[in-house]
Amino acid sequence: MAKNVNATRTCGSEAEKLSLPDVDWAEDLAKLTWALAPPARVRIVRLLLSRSSCVCGEIVDEMPLAQSTVSQHLKILKESGLVTGEVDGPRVCYCIHQPAFQKLKQLIAEL
Amino acid sequence: MAKNVNATRTCGSEAEKLSLPDVDWAEDLAKLTWALAPPARVRIVRLLLSRSSCVCGEIVDEMPLAQSTVSQHLKILKESGLVTGEVDGPRVCYCIHQPAFQKLKQLIAEL
DNA sequence: GAATGATATCGTTAATCGACGATAGGCAAT
DNA sequence: ATTGCCTATCGTCGATTAACGATATCATTC
C-alpha cells in the first residue's frame, strides 16, 4: 500500500493521475471555500454585499459576536482576498473585493 | 456560540434581506463551503465530476492519502449531501449528488 | 465455512479553529 | 497632551480537524 509518493513528485512532472494543475486549482478554490466555511464569515460577506457602507462597527453590531472575533474574521477574509479594508479616519471601511469574488464564482461555476 | 440576532434593520426599504432568514441561508451555504474547505475534498469532488466510474479504491489511488483518510473525507462529503455512495457488490460507487451540487452553485451565484 | 479483497470505523495525535476578554494602537476632537 | 472612540492584536481556552494505523465489517469466491 504505497500511498505516499510525494518525495519524488514535489516538483516532478511524472505521469500522475491527478495532474499538478488540478492540485493547484483545487487549492485555489479551497482557499476561497475555506474562507466561507464558518457561517459567520458567510454572513459578513453577505452583509458587505448588501450594504453600501461597510464600517467595521456596523458589522459588529449585526453579528452576535465579540468585536475581537469579528475583527479576526475580517482579517481572514482579507487574507483570502475576498474583502478589502480601507482605513477611513478612525474607522475602517470593508468592502467586497470583486476580482476575488468573481474568481470564486467562476471556480464554482466551472466545477 | 451565541445565537441572538434581533437587528431591527431600518436600512432595507421594502424587505430587509438581512435578518433571521439570512442566518439560515448563511448556514446552508456554509455547510457546503465547509465541505469543500480542505483541498483534499475539492479534489475528490473534482475527480467524481471528471470520471464516470467512481469506485472508492480509484479515489484512494488518485490521492496521496491513506485509505482511511479518504474514506473519512467521503463520509463528510456524503453528510454534506454533495456526494452519494452506492454499494455495488464488494465495492462502493461514489457519485456527485446533483441536487446538492446545483444548490451549491446556485447559492454561490446568488451571493 | 474459511479466505480474500474492499470499505468503514475506531482510537489516537498534533495542529488548527473560533470564540472570548484584555489590552495595545491609531485617529480626532477637546 | 489628554481624553475618548474605534479597531487590531495578544494570549488563552475548549472544541474540532485531518491525518494515520489498526481493526472491524461486509460481499464475494473458494
Please state the three-class secondary structure of chain B as a single string.
CCCCCCCCCCCCCCCCCCCHHHHHHHHHHHHHHHHCCCHHHHHHHHHHHHCCCCEHHHHHHHCCCCHHHHHHHHHHHHHHCCEEEEEECCEEEEEECHHHHHHHHHHHHCC
> Residues A40-82: pLDDT tens digits?
999 999 999 998 779 999 999 999 999 999 999 999 999 999 9
> Residues B98-110: pLDDT tens digits?
999 999 999 999 8
Over residues B33-45, mean pLDDT: 97
Per-residue H/E/C for A45-85: HHHHHHCCCCEHHHHHHHCCCCHHHHHHHHHHHHHHCCEEE
Interface test with B, best of A4, A22, A24, A36 (most B CBs within 10 A): A36
Over residues A88-109, mean pLDDT: 95
Residue A91 has pLDDT above 60, yes or no: yes
Residue of B nearest to A7 (CA): B64
Q: CA A15, C1' D8: Å apart? A: 47
Over residues B85-92, mean pLDDT: 94
Spell out residues with C-beta < 7 A from strand C.
A 37-38, 40-41, 64-69, 72-73, 76, 87, 89-90; B 1-2, 55-57, 60, 67-68, 71-72, 74-75, 85, 90-92
Over residues B24-29, mean pLDDT: 94
Residue A10 has pLDDT above 70, yes or no: no
Nucleotide nearest to B63 (CA to C1'): D19
State whether A30 and B39 contact (CB < 8 Å): yes
**Which has the higher per-residue pLDDT, A4 or B36?**
B36
Over residues A76-101, mean pLDDT: 95
Burial class (CB in 10 A: 0-12, 13-18, 19+), B86: exposed
Q: Are B85 and B93 within 8 A, CB to CB?
A: yes
Over residues B54-63, mean pLDDT: 95
Q: What's the pLDDT score for residue A19?
A: 67
